[in-house]
Structure 1
Amino acid sequence: MRITKGFVDKVPLPQIGSDGKPAQAFYRDSTISGFGLRVTSGGAKSFIVEKRVDGRVKRKTLGRYGNLTVEQAKKEAMKFLGKVATGIDPIREVSEKRAQRITLSDAFKDYLATRKNLKPNTLNDYNRSMNEMFKDWQTKALSDISRDMVISRHTEYGQRSPARADNGMRILRAIFNHALQRYQDSSGKPFLASNPVEVLSHQRAWYKVERRQTLIKDHQLKPWYDATMQLNNQTTRDYLHLVLLTGLRRTEAATLTWDQIDFKDKTLTITETKNNRIHRLPFSDAIEELLQRRFDEKSSPFVFPSDAERGHLSEPRTAVARVTKLSGVTFTLHDLRRTFITAAERLDIPAYALKRLINHKDPNDVTEGYIIFDVERLRLPMQKITDFFIQQFESDSDV
């Protein structure tokens, strides 16, 4: 049929389908091949244009009737068809123009969409950097973020925290690397000239913050333990003790649920780990006693519940600060893991047993893949480490 104003005004609306979903109908113009009208059961009338490009039918919505007249829509359709006739794909052209001006915010969202296995802490770290370090860059096009801007922002934040400055720039570098591969023209050429964050490597501007090596020393263990026993919150106290006695990472311990605890086999299992390898640990006597007591009083699926929306304990900064004040021992939760590892090394725990206890995976150790490790072989080393800590907790502080 010939699409005219009169036809569009009187065109019947399609009926809603038997499944209750809105329906739509298409009407093709007899005078301009490819020009048409789409009508929905809700009353929306939109002009479209269709043409086969590179073996595939491409459809573009030109606009709604009312915003465009029939004549205006036909002129837009002719422009589209004219470009196709000269070998141009108008839809790809629009897509490429949009990609050339992709903003940091949109590129970040696209980057996250391709990283579905990010751990919650990693995701929070990424979002924090975007919202703090690059808050005023969110609406900027990637192509407008220059090397000089990167150097200036890195220096600015480096004066506050070199570690956060480096971490934020690593995240930004990953987003640009993703964009270089993601946003390309029809010939496969990236729209971005380069990754501006690489300037930090060229100028050797990374701060290269040394990893913390702090831990709780032997003579500090008793005052630290005594201070934890003064905490009013039993959940927080037990959490700190479990992290020290198992060497678990803070999130692994905080998110423990009761279905990860097996009192029959006397083991706990971490499924979401940093290296994606299931981590199973045996109980020592003290660990079993702690978990059994918590199980007898359980009120949540989580071993360490919280009233927060997430349902489980988060990093107990207030408790850590109070223990530090009471004991005089400054520490972080990761210091407890380092203390566990150091104690195990001093007790001459076999190397492969220690690797399993802390779930450390060495990609360069080709023999590791040939060793089948039974969790029972970890029970004696685990008990040995616990006994060492208990001995320190009960020692005479004056000695």
Structure 2
Amino acid sequence: MRLTELSIKNMKLPERGQKTYWENGFGVRVSQGGRKSFVVMYGPNRRLKTLGRYPVLSLKDARRKAQVILAQRPEEKDLRVTLAEARAQFLADCEKRLRPSTVWNYQYYLSKVEKTYLDDVGLEDFPNTSHAIMSAKVFFNWCIRHELAEKNPFSFCKVRYGTRDRVLSDDEVRKLWTYDFPPFSDYVKLMLLTGLRKGECAFVVPGDDLLTIDGEHTKNRRTHRLPITPMVAELLPRLEYFNGFSKAKYRIDREVPLPHWTLHDLRRTFATNHARLGTPIHIVEALLNHVSGTISGVAAIYIRHNFLAEAKVAQLRYEDFMSELLGKE
């Protein structure tokens, strides 16, 4: 068909997906949402290149661009969008809108891809994990909206976020412990030593022998008490009010690059290491301030012991483990 201003305005929208109206290798792609873009098909392998969006790009200018491409028949690689170019534009846009930690996650997975051209990237270039696949889907959807890509090779991949099971290895714990960016690094150490949640750390009230977090600041609204052990006591004077966890986490991710982890994973690491030491599960639950668990039902009604003495013994044994792991005397 002959493409004119009138024919473009009157093009019928497809019920689903996209439809392209052609004029000798030059065409207009129409989406079901009404978006119209100029495209050109060129080369022996019939590559498709998006020229621009109508009416931002006029029909006259689009036809001129298409004629240049079709007349010169350049090498395909000269017209293909590189992964580096698309990635840089995507991350620059994300930095304006998203949290630093989210941008870091996208950058982490996209930087692992070794392909040169965007349209060569496929399923084999990303690990089969929820975070990796979601990063790829978001990236390609963005590229399609900005007319850098024609399709999303990850559009049919289902992402299921189940229960997290990330536990930091001993080597990763050592790397985090040596990171020095107070007061954030001191809070990281406190989480590793006590299993406290990020939101609880800022509200610890030290006593003679116990740390107390008022129920107003705990997840289950129950006051939480922990024994103060030597390594914890050493940290307490250095703690000060801090609320820049997201930016500080972004910084530590850049300076101590590890596979994706969250601050809450430190709590899981704490509990797992206690299990390695043989700490009884009901003591671990007391240290984590868990309400339900091994002691529940009728037993929970009658057993009112707070297990603080047993918790201190367990924490002292845990600190011996940490001292050995960190190479402390």
Give the TM-score, by structure 1 length. Answer: 0.39
Give the TM-score, by structure 2 length. Answer: 0.47
Larger Rg: 1
